[in-house]
Amino acid sequence: MKNTDEKLLSEINKLRKEKNAVILAHNYQPGPIQDLADLTGDSLELSRKARDTDAEVIVFCGVRFMAETAAILNPGKIVILPEPDAGCPMADMITSKDAKQIKSEFPGVPLVTYVNSNADVKAESTVCCTSANSIKVVNSFTDAEEVYMAPDQNLAKYTAKYTKKKIHHWNGYCPVHHNLTEKHVLDAKTKYPDAIFIAHPECRPEVLDLADGVFSTSGMIKYVSESEGSLFIIGTEMGLIHTLKKRNPHKEFVPLHDSLICPDMKKITLEKILASLEQLRPRITVPENIRKRAELALDRMLEI
Ligand code: 13P
Ligand code: SF4
178-220 pLDDT, tens digit per residue, is 999 999 999 999 999 999 999 999 999 999 999 999 999 999 9
Could you read off the pLDDT of 278-301 as tens digits, one per residue? 999 999 999 999 999 999 999 999
Task: Note the pLDDT tens digit of each residue in 22-59.
Answer: 999 999 999 999 999 999 999 989 988 988 899 999 99
Assess whether 270 and 249 both reside in one domain.
no
Reported as a single tens digit per residue, the pLDDT across 69-125 is 999 999 989 999 999 999 999 999 999 999 999 999 999 999 999 999 999 999 999
CA-nearest residue for atom 9, ligand 1, is 202
**Do 55 and 84 reside in the same domain of the chain?**
yes
The whole-number pLDDT of residue 74 equals: 92
pLDDT of 3 reads 76
Q: Is the CB of 63 under 6 A from ligand 2?
A: yes
Measured from the Cα of 202, ligand 2's closest atom is 7
DSSP 114-126: ESSS-HHHHTT-S
CA dist., res. 57 & res. 139, Å (int): 35
Task: Report pLDDT for 1.
Answer: 67
Neighbouring CB atoms inside 10 A of 169's CB total 20
**Host H or E run for residue 59:** strand 57-61
CATH number for the domain spanning 220: value is 3.40.50.10800
Q: Are residues 202 and 141 in the same domain?
A: no
What is the C-alpha radius of gyration for the chain, rounded to an integer number of angstroms?
Answer: 19
Residues 230, 200: one domain?
Answer: yes
Considering the domain architecture, whether residues 47 and 58 belong to the same structural domain is answered as yes
pTM of the model: 0.96
Binned at pLDDT 50, 70 and 90, residue 148 comes out as very high
Same domain for 44 and 65, yes or no, is yes
pLDDT value of position 244: 98
Would you give the distance in Å from CA 302 to the centre of its chain? 15
What residue numbers bound the domain in which 253 lies?
180-258
195: closest CA among 207, 210, 208? 210
Yes or no: say if 282 and 84 are a contact pair by the CB < 8 Å rule. Answer: yes
Clarify whether residues 120 and 58 are in a common domain: no
CA of 117 to the centre of ligand 2 (A): 10
**How many Å lie between the centroid of ligand 1 and the Cα of residue 101?**
26
